[in-house]
Chains A and B, each alone.
Chain A
């Protein structure tokens, strides 16, 4: 067989090879994205995602979607413009959550015995599905950035609320009011994590009284739009084959 001859001899064989290639790439992509995205997310959103007593209605709601929309935007750019595949964001977020759960279960619980109700990761899948669908329906990066980015920010808090609401019930503890989440953070000793590091309820957003989360979510959505555009271009640049095209 010379170098110019095909490696397959029939259409059936070509389909089989193609499918094998699909599974290999999907498997590899999942874990490569998991690794990169997980490191990125731990560095830029780490403590907000690690600890339940960081999951507040201001900064957690604002920071996490902005930092989380990065890899989905980049991977969407590659998968959509090259293959018209509409699961880039979901693949990223599922990879991230898989990695996070492995980390939280084996490392935070199995190794250091922090209870899971203290260290569970944030939920991002609903926003990712909507982001994928908007790209598929519109086929437009601009529209996906505007509508998808906004939806990604807006959906974050409500999709996490069923999980964190029980932990926001108030408790009177030795004469002070705390939430169950605060109390968990206080009870389960983190030697290297003094309370003052916690960045919660900081800021000047006081005009809307107690309804802070929706405003934070809108702000997060707006910034997510910009971050989406930026990372979309990172993805396109990263996925370029200009330098490898045969003459």
Chain B
């Protein structure tokens, strides 16, 4: 029995050693942002990101890049998520690896939260300045108050150089140029060290004398009043008066040094300017939609009517940032992230041009591993099993028009 115990102990020890050593030599980057964990219905039925472009794949420290594109605020916004009345255009990066040098919705700078309207489409731009070297996943992102972060597609961007070279110069309205990266740090350290030293002096004054046991005995013996000496009182007064005098003097000197200061700026920005989208000339009715679990494919029956004056073809289905394309109609040339692009993922029963005035029933299949990889298939476990997305039709001149779809989704397990 003892031999078995010894053996188990030995093996456990070796196991722990192997584990610790492995952890020391192999520590892969944790780069996930949880984008795949977010409920599928939330990604499919709130903000639809499209026409996204990351201006660079590699950027040096201090250089800038942009993330641009459009987002459509879905009209069938789920009831379980608060409306986007207070929203913030964010950017999904692992901390401040970039600084956000600017962000705009419809040409308006949005350093603060803003109000968005359902059913509208907005153009956005985020200007990023590289700060910390590494490979980073950069996502578009919209935070919605009461709804949480709604994370859009992400792309890997490499920052080269050294963070020590990073500079962030800003000129104040008083004409002083400062580097925000390290401005005021010495002042912060000085004042904190100064007051800590004074606090320490007060503590040391008391701790140089016996503290706990003799004082407890004295208090319990009814001699508590003898424990505070006249010197203690004098020293105490000196500390209190000195503290208040220093606070008053430094307040006055600070006001003299910085005569112009303003309060923090806050408040909701309203009236964001949406894109003036032409009325769609293609009408789409979803007759039914099923998600076939074994085949990782969503099948839709659509009745499409072309009310325009040019024949159209269905080129793309976009949901939760995953793009299913029919390569015969549309090919991506923007360098969209591979994992979010199903270049041949869209199959249409008859995708010949739909002539003006014509109505046709389509059997559309959107299939790709992305359904699983991006956990969109989990939609069938959501409390409101509806899907939504954007259909892009292309006319004879190559113009695209966007049509939203929103319908119940029936899972098929066989």
Q: Give CA–CA (A171, B251) in the complex, Å.
A: 22
- Which B residues are CB-close (under 8 A) to A186? 100, 111
- Which B residues are CB-close (under 8 A) to A158? 247-248, 250-251
Q: Give CA–CA (A116, B193) in the complex, Å.
A: 14
Cβ-defined contact, B184 with A86, below 8 A = no
Segment with Cβ contacts to A, from B61-69, B170-178, B364-372, B392-400: B170-178
Q: Give CA–CA (A117, B248) in the complex, Å.
A: 23
Interface of A is mostly: helix
- Which A residues are CB-close (under 8 A) to B301? none
- Which B residues are CB-close (under 8 A) to A136? 228, 232-233, 236
Q: Which residue of B lies closest to A178 (CB)?
A: B265
Does chain A have a CB within 8 A of B15? no
Q: Quick one: CB contact mask for B2-24 with A, threshold 8 Å, 1 for yes? A: 00000000000000000000000
Interface size class of A (residues with CB under 8 A): 35 or more
Task: Tell me the minimal C-beta distance from B103 to chain A in angstroms.
Answer: 8
Cβ-defined contact, B99 with A188, below 8 A = yes
Cβ-defined contact, B210 with A187, below 8 A = no
Cβ-defined contact, B188 with A120, below 8 A = yes
Task: Tell me the minimal C-beta distance from B414 to chain A in angstroms.
Answer: 41
- Which A residues are CB-close (under 8 A) to B178? 180
Q: Give CA–CA (A47, B201) in the complex, Å.
A: 30
Cβ-defined contact, B111 with A173, below 8 A = yes
Q: Which residue of B lies closest to A169 (CB)?
A: B172
Cβ-defined contact, A174 with B187, below 8 A = no
- Which A residues are CB-close (under 8 A) to B185? 115-117
Q: Which residue of A lies closest to B227 (CB)?
A: A84
Cβ-defined contact, B262 with A22, below 8 A = no
Q: Give CA–CA (A153, B224) in the complex, Å.
A: 30
Does chain A have a CB within 8 A of B98? yes
Does chain A have a CB within 8 A of B381? no
From B33, B90, B233, give the contact of A189 (CB < 8 A): B90
Q: Quick one: CB contact mask for A13-31 with B, threshold 8 Å, 1 for yes? A: 0010011011001100000
Q: Give CA–CA (A177, B261) in the complex, Å.
A: 12
Cβ-defined contact, A189 with B99, below 8 A = yes
Does chain B have a CB within 8 A of A182? yes
Q: Give CA–CA (A137, B195) in the complex, Å.
A: 22
Cβ-defined contact, A165 with B264, below 8 A = no
Does chain B have a CB within 8 A of A103? no
From B86, B180, B192, give the contact of A101 (CB < 8 A): B192
Residues of B251-281 at the interface with A, using a CB-CB cut-off of 8 Å, are: 251, 253-255, 257-258, 260-268
Cβ-defined contact, A161 with B149, below 8 A = no
From B93, B111, B200, give the contact of A182 (CB < 8 A): B111
Does chain A have a CB within 8 A of B96? yes
- Which A residues are CB-close (under 8 A) to B189? 116
Q: Give CA–CA (A18, B213) in the complex, Å.
A: 6
Does chain A have a CB within 8 A of B321? no
Cβ-defined contact, B95 with A191, below 8 A = yes
Q: Give CA–CA (A242, B163) in the complex, Å.
A: 59
Cβ-defined contact, B258 with A180, below 8 A = no
Q: Give CA–CA (A81, B218) in the complex, Å.
A: 12
- Which A residues are CB-close (under 8 A) to B131? 113
Cβ-defined contact, A117 with B184, below 8 A = yes
Does chain A have a CB within 8 A of B345? no
Does chain A have a CB within 8 A of B339? no
Q: Give CA–CA (A176, B181) in the complex, Å.
A: 21
Q: Give CA–CA (A171, B143) in the complex, Å.
A: 26
Cβ-defined contact, A183 with B180, below 8 A = yes
Cβ-defined contact, B250 with A162, below 8 A = yes
Q: Give CA–CA (A158, B149) in the complex, Å.
A: 37
Known: A83-B219, A165-B255. A21 touches B213 (CB 8 A): yes
Residues of B181-206 at the interface with A, using a CB-CB cut-off of 8 Å, are: 181-185, 187-189, 191-192, 195-196, 198-200, 202-203, 206
- Which A residues are CB-close (under 8 A) to B192? 97, 101, 120-121, 123, 163
Q: Give CA–CA (A175, B173) in the complex, Å.
A: 12
Task: Tell me the minimal C-beta distance from A33 to chain B in angstroms.
Answer: 12
Cβ-defined contact, A114 with B266, below 8 A = no
Q: Give CA–CA (A200, B112) in the complex, Å.
A: 12
Does chain A have a CB within 8 A of B386? no
- Which A residues are CB-close (under 8 A) to B101? 187
Cβ-defined contact, A169 with B210, below 8 A = no
Q: Quick one: CB contact mask for A93-132 with B, threshold 8 Å, 1 for yes? A: 1100100010000000000111111001101011011101
Q: Which residue of A lies closest to B195 (CB)?
A: A125
Q: Which 6 A-B pairs have the closest CB atoms?
A: A194-B143, A168-B261, A133-B240, A194-B88, A84-B227, A196-B113
Listed A/B pairs (5) with beta-carbon separation below 8 Å: A94-B199, A114-B95, A130-B243, A173-B170, A183-B111
Q: Which residues of A contact B (CB under 8 A)?
A: 15, 18-19, 21-22, 25-26, 53, 55-57, 81-87, 90-91, 93-94, 97, 101, 112-117, 120-121, 123, 125-126, 128-130, 132-134, 136-137, 139, 155, 158-159, 161-163, 165-184, 186-192, 194-196, 198, 200-202, 210, 212
A-B contact sample (18 more), CB < 8 A, given A168-B262, A187-B101: A21-B213, A101-B192, A113-B97, A116-B185, A116-B188, A120-B188, A129-B202, A136-B232, A139-B228, A155-B247, A166-B184, A166-B187, A174-B102, A179-B262, A179-B263, A184-B180, A194-B113, A196-B268
